[in-house]
Structure 1
Amino acid sequence: MADSIKNKDTYDALRDDGMSKEKAARIANAQANDDMNPSEKGGKQPPYEDWTKDELYERAQEIGIDGRSDMTKDELIEALRNH
């Protein structure tokens, strides 16, 4: 994966902060792309606290979070935020 990282300094800083390899790579590559403005993209969805447990579960299923069927709503929120 290291060969596909477009902004190595950003990637390394995000990894040092504890982000997963996948998430750090997505952010670093988005920031390196002139057509994307990752800091301006957020805020279009309501906060996870406003979602139903079923909606949270479906989102967790879409992105492949393991153990989701045994999670409470709060645990699903935490897992989604940390993915």
Structure 2
Amino acid sequence: MITELVETKDDLCLDERRQPGQAKAHALRHIFGTQSVADEVPIDVVQKVRGHASLQTTTIYVQAEKQRVMEDVARYYAGFVPRKTGA
């Protein structure tokens, strides 16, 4: 998969092409878990795909998604400027 990505992505610079090959398996599994939850894959399905014996282990990814949502909302409101209402 990484070879195909590198060979087919002509718009990537050399450094960007090297990055997927340097990723560790644990990082890729973590990204999969977090993104799956973010894309609303049922948590029990993520549990089975990840091979977790305990659903509690899989809920780590739910917490990561909640944290991401909170950070995105905080960034939105940090840039929010209330409109002045005039009569």
Structure with bigger helix share is 2
What's the TM-score once normalised by structure 2's chain length? Answer: 0.28
- Bigger Rg over Cα: 2
What's the TM-score once normalised by structure 1's chain length? Answer: 0.29
